[in-house]
Structure 1
Amino acid sequence: MTRRFALFGGLALTLAGCATKFRTYNGPEVTRLQLFKADRTLFLFNDSKVLKTYKFDLGFAPVGHKQFEGDGKTPEGSYTVDKRNPDTKFHLSVGISYPNEADIAYAASQGRSPGGEIFIHGGPRPGIDPIKPDWTAGCIAVTDSEIEHIYAMLRDGTPIDIFA
């Protein structure tokens, strides 16, 4: 009896933990994101109305536009949300369409790779040691709770403007 209780209790706790990861959102559509690197502020808009505001961390070299793989910078410019990843080492993540054609062309002209896989994501899983602030390799990091809300609110194709 005790073994069965422990088994079902553990299963219930596991399922309860998973339930909070995937939130639902029934509010106004997010039509644009604007991210300001200098003040570490992300705005989610419905047309001209701000729906949510978040603070975040950036890559380990946050000043300037991402140009090359491994430079630790976060891109600047106009991109879109291009994917959502529920199975990531950073809780949940929302992909940004970096690199665009201009990013690829510039890196190629320098004989380098532009890098890729830029995400808005939650905090690290155990075993990844963040160095706060600006601990990512070029991504935008929010708290786990915040990425759960952002993940639920965004759809692929949503424009994102990233400013210095």
Structure 2
Amino acid sequence: MDMIKKLIISMLFTLPLVASANTILPTADEVLVVKSKRKMYLIRQGAIYQEYRISLGDSPVGHKGQEGDKRTPEGRYIIDYRNPESRFHLSLHINYPSELDMQSAADNGVSPGGEIFIHGLPNGMEHKSIEFKGRDWTDGCIAITNKEITEFWTLVKDGTPIVIKP
């Protein structure tokens, strides 16, 4: 009996999260961010199946051009790794800057910056979540609630493409 229990428990931790009593959410094929709508979507086989309200960098309009501009990049990237020990509640890295981003920054004599993540709230600030909701506050990252990033973490695998539109 103990072996069966262990097997069931281990299987539960490998399944996608349950959105409701009867719905299991699949792993995303792609992530789409529409900055102007402050929305992030999970897509599977061409159809949107999950939506998140997002916060962006303090200066959200336009493509990230250089380190410190507090803009969220725009374009096609990959979610390439995750950080379970982030200073935010879980984080997934976006592989910005691309070669094009690096060339553009070099042409302008600036650093393109980096360290762009999708993450939750700063650790220790969960009790102040209302202060973060509905406003842009990151240094160029994409932020969602801690509950949402926990779900997102299970539904988006390393190597998933992400498209960030204006």
Smaller-chain TM-score range? 0.7 to 0.9
Q: Say whether residues 1:53 and 2:51 are aligned partners.
A: yes
Which residue pairs with 2:37 in the alignment?
39
Whether the 8 Å contact between 1:23 and 1:148 is mirrored in structure 2 is no
Unpaired runs of 5+ residues, structure 1, are 1-21
Query: Post-superposition shift, 1:115?
Result: 0.3
Which residue pairs with 1:158 in the alignment?
160
Runs of 4+, deviation exceeding 2 Å: 26-29, 129-132
Distance in 1 of aligned mates of 2:61 and 2:124: 28
Distance in 1 of aligned mates of 2:140 and 2:34: 14
Query: Post-superposition shift, 1:133?
Result: 1.0
Distance in 1 of aligned mates of 2:79 and 2:163: 10
Query: Post-superposition shift, 1:23?
Result: 8.5
Distance in 2 of aligned mates of 1:143 and 1:134: 13
SS in 2 for 1:155: coil
SS in 1 for 2:90: strand
Q: How does 1:15-94 map to 2 (within 5 A)?
A: 25=16, 27-94=25-92
Distance in 2 of aligned mates of 1:31 and 1:52: 12
Distance in 2 of aligned mates of 1:84 and 1:31: 17
Query: Post-superposition shift, 1:160?
Result: 0.5
Q: Partner amino acid for 1:149?
A: E
Instruction: Report sequence identity in percent.
Output: 45
Deviations 1:60-99 (A, max 9, x none): 0000000100000000000011111100011100111100
Q: TM-score if structure 2 supplies the norm length?
A: 0.80
Distance in 1 of aligned mates of 2:124 and 2:109: 36
Whether the 8 Å contact between 2:34 and 2:40 is mirrored in structure 1 is yes
SS in 2 for 1:38: helix
Whether the 8 Å contact between 1:23 and 1:149 is mirrored in structure 2 is no
Q: TM-score if structure 1 supplies the norm length?
A: 0.81
Whether the 8 Å contact between 1:80 and 1:159 is mirrored in structure 2 is yes
Distance in 2 of aligned mates of 1:148 and 1:61: 26
Distance in 2 of aligned mates of 1:24 and 1:139: 28
